[in-house]
């Protein structure tokens, strides 16, 4: 949560209404330096992307008939969203580790939540992430198997002009991202408009891999 953890920042909390939770309040928003609001609930990223696909905001991921969340694939992994074309044929090759072969033309979509912005540049990750690097390797295998493979960086703020990997924080991830992009994995980034009444993806960001 680099850039979102400044002491004294104004925050918004939500009462979950769950008496079984250790902490009943959930941290949802923070106002960072410069006045931008940032969504801090990482669990929202997949839903924001699914909504952006359904409402047409993410124009690059249209034409699918079904969105399936958390589908097992690869080496004990789960893809965040599997986009399927049910009318696209009678199925295709199963990617390694899949329990069910999806329809031909399906898209494996991995979503990464982004909250860090430095001088107008959205960056990921904000700490070393072995898991995120492994996911890129899984997506490369999916692409090699003939499916569409996408990693989408979901930025829960609207004050960035472009996206780059945070090589100074996790150079291994940065190298893996460039390798994946060179081997058939599509890399996208979308920023969201954030207010106290809601968060919605609004625009695509240029992705700089060099």
Q: Is 65 exposed, middle or buried (0-12, 13-18, 19+ CB in 10 A)?
A: exposed
Q: Give residue-wise pLDDT tens across range 174-191.
A: 999 999 999 999 999 999
More confident residue, 2 or 168: 168
* Residue 4 counted as domain residue: no
Among 57, 70, 168, CA closest to 119: 168
Instruction: Count up the domains in the chain and report the number.
Output: 1
CA distance between the termini of the chain: 24
- Look up the pTM and report it: 0.90
Mean pLDDT over 23-49 rounds to 94
* Residue 177 counted as domain residue: yes
Q: Give residue-wise pLDDT tens across range 121-135.
A: 999 999 999 999 999
Q: Give residue-wise pLDDT tens across range 20-30.
A: 989 899 999 99
Q: CA separation (Å) from 155 to 104, 121, 185, 197? A: 30, 11, 19, 17
What range does the domain containing 170 cover? 42-208
* Residue 2 counted as domain residue: no
The pLDDT of residue 96 is 45
184 in Cβ contact with 149 (< 8 Å): yes
* Token pair belonging to 192: 């969201």
State the Cα–Cα distance between residues 12 and 159, nearest whole angstrom.
19
* Residue 36 counted as domain residue: no
Whether 73 has a pLDDT exceeding 80, the answer reads: yes
| Averaged pLDDT score across all residues of the chain | 92
Q: Give residue-wise pLDDT tens across range 79-100.
A: 999 999 876 444 444 454 445 6
CATH number of the domain at 172, please.
3.40.1350.60
């Amino acid at each position: 949560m680099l850039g979102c953890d400044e002491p004294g920042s104004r925050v918004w909390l939500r009462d979950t209404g769950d008496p079984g939770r250790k902490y009943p309040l959930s941290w949802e928003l923070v106002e960072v330096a410069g006045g931008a609001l940032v969504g801090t609930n990482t669990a929202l990223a997949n839903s924001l992307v699914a909504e952006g696909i359904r409402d047409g905001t993410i124009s690059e991921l249209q034409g699918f008939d079904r969105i399936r969340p958390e589908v097992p694939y690869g080496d004990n992994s789960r893809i965040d969203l599997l986009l399927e074309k049910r009318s696209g044929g009678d199925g295709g090759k199963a990617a390694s580790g899949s329990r069910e072969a999806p329809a031909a033309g399906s898209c494996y979509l991995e979503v990464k939540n982004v909250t860090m912005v430095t001088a107008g540049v959205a960056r990921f990750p904000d700490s070393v992430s072995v898991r995120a690097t492994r996911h890129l390797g899984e997506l490369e295998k999916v692409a090699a198997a003939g499916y569409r493979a996408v990693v989408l960086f979901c930025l829960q703020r609207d004050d960035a002009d472009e996206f780059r990997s945070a090589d100074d924080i996790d150079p291994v991830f940065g190298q893996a991202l460039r390798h994946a992009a060179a081997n058939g994995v599509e890399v996208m980034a979308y920023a969201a408009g954030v207010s106290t009444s809601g968060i919605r993806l609004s625009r695509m960001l240029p992705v700089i891999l060099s």
